[in-house]
Amino acid sequence: MTELSVTQLGQTVAAPASPEEAVLEAVPNPQNDVLYLARFVAPEFTSLCPVTGQPDFAHLVIDYAPGDWLIESKSLKLYLTSFRNHGSFHEDCTVKVARKIVEVAKPRWLRIGGYWYPRGGIPIDVFWQTGPAPEGLWVPDQGVAPYRGRG
């Protein structure tokens, strides 16, 4: 294992202004010999519509099978917060988050579900994964019901 080297955990850190400025960090996985699934849920993810500048809201569910590294959760929270003033379409935001996690932590497997609240009356759900789940990995349902409106 590599020595723990994080710059944000235990520190007062201002929210990054953009995803490009945000620092996503990984820490050594002490259980790297075990195939297991870790889940992050961000039920209040926000970004901006790149055309209108209006806020967009999503419920993100990130499932990953760690390898040698774990995503450090405070840095993930700050990374996700960095989208708050970032203009990007739903599909781009969802896949960008997943690809950044893959770049930093190099998991055995990752999938993301971006369950976006309606814009113009149409909810948009975005799903991406790195490939088939590894054999023997328990992958539970993401637990997000389809959008049913107010009725």
Report domain 26-129's class.
alpha beta
Query: CB-based burial of residue 13 (10 Å sphere; 0-12 exposed, 13-18 middle, 19+ buried)?
Result: middle
Q: Residue 128: is its pLDDT beyond 60?
A: yes
Structure confidence at residue 13 as a pLDDT band (50, 70, 90): confident
Judge if pTM exceeds 0.95.
no
Residue 2 has pLDDT above 60, yes or no: no
Angle between helices 90-105 and 73-81 (to 10 degrees): 150
Bind-site residues for substrate: 71-73, 90-91
pLDDT > 50? residue 116 = yes
State yes or no: pLDDT of 149 exceeds 90.
no
Residues marked as catalytic: 49, 56
Q: Residues within the annotated binding site?
A: 71-73, 90-91
**pLDDT digits over 76-88, tens only?**
999 999 999 999 9
